[in-house]
Structure 1
Amino acid sequence: MKRAIKQTFKPKTKDHAHCEFHTTNYKKNKNERMKILITGAKGFVGKNLIVELRNQGFEDLMEFDVDSDLRLLDVYAGQCEFVFHLAGVNRPENQADFMAGNFGFTSQLLDALKKYHSKAPVLITSSIQAAQNNPYGESKKAGEDLLFDYSKETGSRVYVYRLPNVFGKWCRPNYNSAVATFCNNIAHNLPIQVNDPNAVLNLVYVDDVINSFIAKLKVESSLAPSPHFEEVSPVHTKSLGEIVTLLNKFKDSRSTLQLPDMGNAFEKKLYSTYLSYLPESDFSYPLKMNVDQRGSFTEFLKTNERGQVSVNISKPHIIKGNHWHHTKNEKFLVVSGKGVIRFRKIDSEDIIEYFVSGERLEVVDIPVGYTHNIENLGETDMVTIMWVNEVFDKERPDTYFLEVTPNL
């Protein structure tokens, strides 16, 4: 069998490795030393932010939430070097709590920072509702104005994010997120209610939000930018009907085996979000195994764009295949056992053999116009992962029987 020439790996020099080691650790130590205050730390965005900060080496995190001792806020304000102000009220028992939670607490936080003459940049999460004339929006607008005034007074950098609907893992269902509610209820076989399927949502994914937040944390400049609203991109504009249709497709994919379109950014993010709401007792699902005396054949994944993946198990000394295709092409990967894949161009008598084994993983392409088969040469089952470039269509199978070795 022909082998590709592999380039010899050239290890890094000692000096280069030494330099890289210290560069990596410098960045990590710099992150470790930074003291970061996060209000609303137990909320949806707060939880996602904290785990990613820790992933990136930030370890001195001051977490503050609604049940924290208020005296801690004063302690943290005197020490912090950056503030993520994520705390807010969006479902109070009475409307007066909107202003108390979204304006009043912001005022307390900024007063504490001014007490210590802090120059820590402050990032606040507001809402697109701040442009609306309702109690929630008015309270968010008041918090924004307070922060912009604080920047003018102190010269501190501030970042005000008017976020649209945020979706992703760990968002509380049946609260204030339609996406979280739909994901949770569909995953748990609970009913959903869609009053207007044509209603449109502007959505941002929580990972995109967190990436934007952390980028602000890493800004080196100490100069305060002119007041403006920060944006997270991309923004996905979808109707409720579109979202529900996709979520039902995700649920049905366990039986259809059809993967979502991972080339579509929104669909990819929504599928990840949906999976995070699966019941812990329902992570797995069975596949239909087509079993006969030769072994079994089981379809695993399908996509209209990129074909399908299947698992083929052959019993010892069994031959499968002996067919060819016009356009359909395949890739075989033996992951357990040993065998041989044989080819013959349909207008030739020459037989080509590729010996394969789970001890040396190697992909074999199955070109069109060659009849081919695969034989298990071992004494145990041989397992082959098979990819084909199109989903099987029984009306147009593009599969034609022809023995590779008629005298075998």
Structure 2
Amino acid sequence: MNYERQTWDMKILVTGAKGFIGKNLVAELKNRKYTDIYEYDIDSDIYELEEYCREADFIFHLAGINRPKDQDDYMKGNAGFISTLLDILKNHKNNCPIMISSSIQAELDNLYGKSKKAGEDILINYSKETGAKILIYRFPNVFGKWCRPNYNSAIATFCYNIARDLPITVNDPNVVLSLVYIDDVVNELINALEGKENRKGYFCEVPIVYRVSLGEIVRLLYSFKKSREELSIPDMSDDFTKKLYSTYLSYLPEDKFGYELKMNIDNRGSFTEFIRTPDRGQVSVNISKPGITKGNHWHHTKIEKFLVVSGKGVIRFRKIDSDEVIEYYVSGDKLQIIDIPTGYTHNIENLGDTDMVTIMWANEPFDPEKPDTYYMEV
């Protein structure tokens, strides 16, 4: 199917459009320039569903019941609503493809699982009767931004509570969860829309699944919280950690997005650590007042990178056993990184009439017990 045709011509119905998956899906469909999106949710009018089902070229059926007040509502809200949706499609003789969000619990003997399995069976029979293409996704636990905490997602609840210093309950930290990230889910659903779904028989699946224990999830989340105090950054080379960290930050209280850093201030300006990592070094912000020279020291093993982002100055070098002075003039008007090699004493002087701001990276966090910093005038 031609992508340009999809972008401008396809009419897409999303039920449960205000829910966790639906909200993320609709947002990304709009990002990808799909313009005809019919959003249906619990507060919509049934007559809207009639119109949408008549016009739709593809349906994402994401609506469902997770935590009903009455146990009978599992069947009504899951299998029952699928029947209603399919009856309307039959009335309009619309055999467009349908994707439904089922659950891995469809294999289990509980009311929720039975209602999901019943919905699958209804859809399979509908496909046999009409020839309509169907895509059944048995999702494991889905995590990511915009998921409702204290509802049916442990990760959403943990993120929300930990970010607010509220207690969490972990009955068995050794329990292993199968998890899929919301962006991976949405990407797979749009692949399905474009005819590129990951299919196994009647069922489709998100190709990227993580299996992580509750204990490890909780450990990571508390480390994210502590990272502000330590100025650390989680291991972004680990895909799950990266996605969990993004999820955690989305649950921060809105008055807690910012946090202060310790500024080491004197008459020369200030020096502030920004990020400390054991494997990628340290990033700091150095502010020098006009006419001020900082540095005049050298290192055995520590290396640095200087980037002046505001103001103008000069960085001077001298090999410790030489009289030759090397100069690099730097300015925020032309960004360039200056490497500070070992064995060279160096300094940086503000030549302007405003504060000079320099981003500094070192290959190791500062250790007062082993500073590897030796005073020597350039």
State the TM-score, normalized to the length of structure 2.
0.95
Following superposition of structure 1 onto structure 2, how do residues 1-400 of structure 1 map, counting pairs within 5 Å? Answer: 30-219=6-195, 227-400=201-374
Letter in 1 for 2:128: K
- CA drift of 1:28 comes to 5.4
Instruction: Name structure 2 gaps, 5 residues minimum.
Output: none
Alpha-carbon spacing, 1:220–1:198, altered in 2? closer, same or farther (3 Å): closer
Render the CA deviation track for 1:38-61: whole Å, top value 9, x for unaligned. 111110000000010011111111
Letter in 2 for 1:77: C
- CA drift of 1:69 comes to 1.4
SS in 1 for 2:94: coil
Render the CA deviation track for 1:170-200: whole Å, top value 9, x for unaligned. 1000000010011111112222122222222
- CA drift of 1:369 comes to 2.0
- CA drift of 1:322 comes to 1.6
User: Take 1:29 and 1:299, find their aligned partners in 2: how far apart are those partners?
Assistant: 51
User: Take 2:15 and 2:242, find their aligned partners in 1: how far apart are those partners?
Assistant: 30
Percent identity for Structure 1 against Structure 2: 64
Segment of structure 1 superposing worse, 323-332 or 73-82: 323-332
User: Take 2:196 and 2:332, find their aligned partners in 1: how far apart are those partners?
Assistant: 52
User: Take 2:242 and 2:45, find their aligned partners in 1: how far apart are those partners?
Assistant: 40
User: Take 2:4 and 2:358, find their aligned partners in 1: how far apart are those partners?
Assistant: 44
Equivalent pair of 1:333/1:361 in contact (CA under 8 Å) = yes
Letter in 1 for 2:30: R
SS in 1 for 2:234: coil
User: Take 2:21 and 2:287, find their aligned partners in 1: how far apart are those partners?
Assistant: 46
Q: CA RMSD in A?
A: 1.7
Equivalent pair of 1:28/1:57 in contact (CA under 8 Å) = no
Alpha-carbon spacing, 1:260–1:159, altered in 2? closer, same or farther (3 Å): same
Equivalent pair of 1:336/1:357 in contact (CA under 8 Å) = yes
Instruction: Name structure 1 gaps, 5 residues minimum.
Output: 1-25
SS in 2 for 1:170: coil
User: Take 2:186 and 2:233, find their aligned partners in 1: how far apart are those partners?
Assistant: 27
- CA drift of 1:327 comes to 2.3
Equivalent pair of 1:28/1:58 in contact (CA under 8 Å) = no
- CA drift of 1:27 comes to 5.1
Letter in 2 for 1:185: N
Segment of structure 1 superposing worse, 26-35 or 302-311: 26-35
SS in 1 for 2:55: coil
SS in 2 for 1:309: strand
SS in 2 for 1:326: coil
Alpha-carbon spacing, 1:220–1:296, altered in 2? closer, same or farther (3 Å): closer
Letter in 2 for 1:228: Y
SS in 2 for 1:300: strand
Aligned residue number for residue 22 of structure 1: none
